[in-house]
Every structure is written in structure tokens, then in C-alpha cells.
Amino acid sequence: AAEEQKEEQQLTHELLASLPKERGWRTTKLYLFQNFWCQPKEIEAIMSFQKHFKAQDGDIIVATIPKSGTTWLKALAFAISTRKRFNVKENHPLLTSNPHDLVPFFEYNLYTDNNIPDLSHLPSPRLFGTHVPLGSLPDSIRESNCRIVYVCRNPFDTFVSIWHYLVKIRPENFEPFSLEEAFDMYCRGVVGYGPYWDHMLGYYKQSLETPHKVLFLRYEDMKKDITFDLKKLAQFLGSPFSLEEERGGVVEEIANLCSFQNLKDLEVNKEGKAISDFENKHLFRKGEVGDWDMVKGHMVFGLSYALSHHKAAL
């Protein structure tokens, strides 16, 4: 095993040397791997995930580009799909665990550091999260009858959210860079798992082609009417709310349990660390639509730039 590990490290080393690279947001470099940008540690984990993960028909995969509502969608998908096991009203796991602990990321929690996890013991349905673009998911995800739920958020708000997040989690000795530089990188697609447009369009097109396989949700719609999207999500996941549940207020209870304010105020989300070494509290900032107002001026130019580069794809 040690020999194999050494060989893999060598391969990663050679691979990195062959990839286009740019300055990173919180690490020295980002690499263009399989047409999306990510860090060496992520590449290693993603390659292991691609090689070893075997999807099962009942699996639920929460897919997003960072900062588009991953934490929220993980909480909702978990609460819906386990509601026969965990009563929403009492001792619910979401009250004592962060959503990222309950719905682990392939590339941050499961396949990191050359770990090949045994996932066979997990209760069904198994829930996982990923930021990996659709085209780079392992074949077994595409070939099995597992389901993918995706949330898309206005790219302006996603940018503002990632900017704030990375300022908080970036190592102290990391050379700071300006909002303008960051926005320029974002528009050129140079951001973790970007370009944004490719990521979103990959899942969007698949949701049109195979609507039973990929559910495409919008953060802004969820903020407007979470009850509607919760019902859609439950239906898609194969466990629609019964009339009895609807009358009994279960939909609202799940919405409240997973609401921004409720999750933000929980002790576990003020203190814990669920992803790498990053504090959970940074996952809950404002949770609003339209926070990009603060940088609107810079963005009008950036958007036209980005659109001109992606017209073909649109």
C-alpha cells in the first residue's frame, strides 16, 4: 500500500507540472484540472473519488459551486430524506451536527489524504455532497439511478459570499489581494470549481435532459417560497409529503429547522469545524439575496466580459 501511495503521489506531482496554473484565493496556486480550477489537495481527493466511489441507486448527491447554498440544501435534503427515522420536532441530528457532518463532501471529508472509505455500512439513502462539475463525476454516478440535487445562486451574490468567506479563512500570512483582482479572477473563471457558468450549465442542461436524475433549484426561489421547493425536493427524492404530513405542518417544520437563523444560532454551528479546518460559523453570514449591491459598479463590466466569453455555451 505504501508503494502504491508513493506512486500516486508521484503521478499527482507529474500531473500538476503539466496543468495550467494561476494564483489561488487562499492557497498559492489553483490548477486547471479537467477544465475546472482547484487545488492540489482537492485534485488528489477528486481523483481518488473518481476511481473508487461506487454509487448506489438510492444515493442522493447534493452538488453546488461553493457559496451557492450548499449548507442549506444539505440540511433540507437530509431532513426530508430521513424524516421517517428522525422526528423533525425532537432531538434532530441537525440540532447537534453541522449539515456538512451529516452530508459529507467526497472531496473534503471522504476521499482526502489517500483515504478510501468504506461507505457500505451507511444507512440508505446515503447522502453526499460535492462541488465537482457534472462532467467529472465518476461514471457510476451517471450510470446508476442515484439522484443529484443542484442549487444555483446569482453569480454576483455567490462572488460576494466567497469573497467574504475566503477573507475569513485565508491563512494570516497569505498576501492579501483586492476585491477588483478577485472579481477579475472570478469573471475569468479562476475560482474554486469555476468557471461558474460551465459548472451551472453542466447541471442545468442535464436537468433538462434527464429531469428524474438532476433537480435544478435556485437559491433566490428558495428564499422566496421555501415550502414550494421543499415539496418539489421531496417529490424528486421519491418521498413526497403525504396530505397528512402537509396538514400536520411537517413541511413548515423542516423549513424552520433548516432556516438560516435557526442553523446560525445553534451551538454546533457557532463552535464546530465540519469542513477541513474551517469554522462552521463562517458558513452563516447574511443569507440574503442581493448583497452584491456593495460592489455593483465593478460588476456590470465584469458580467458583460463573462457573458461574451460564454455566449456559445448559453
Query: Using the rule CB under 6 A, is 148 a contact of ligand A3P?
Result: no
Q: Is 98 one of the binding residues for ligand A3P (CB under 6 A)?
A: no
Say whether residue 107 binds ligand A3P (CB under 6 A).
no
What DSSP string runs through 139-196? HHHHHSS-EEEEEE--HHHHHHHHHHHHHHHS-TTSPP--HHHHHHHHHTT-STT--H
Taking CB under 6 A as the rule, does residue 130 contact ligand A3P? no
Helix (H) or strand (E) segment spanning residue 62? strand 60-63
Site mask for ligand A3P (CB under 6 A), range 277-306, x = bound: ------xxxxx---x---------------
The residue from 131, 282, 298, 310 that is catalytic is 131
- Which CB atom, from 47 or from 200, has the smaller least distance to ligand A3P? 200
Tell me 21's DSSP state.
E
Scan residues 48-77 and list those touching ligand A3P (CB under 6 A): 64, 66-72
Task: For residue 84, count CB atoms less than 10 angstroms from its CB and return exposed for 0-12, middle for 13-18, buried for 19 or more.
Answer: exposed
Buried b / exposed e along 170-194 (16+ C-beta atoms within 10 A): beeeeeeeeeeebbbbbbbbbbbbb
> In this structure, what C-alpha cell is assigned to residue 193?
470549481
131 assigned to active site = yes
Nearest to ligand A3P of 45, 275 (CB atom): 275
Nearer to ligand A3P, 15 or 268 (CB): 268
Of the pair 68, 112, the CB lying nearest ligand A3P is at 68
- Annotated catalytic sites, by residue? 131
Site residues (vs ligand A3P, CB under 6 A)? 64, 66-72, 157, 161, 164, 258-260, 263, 283-287, 291
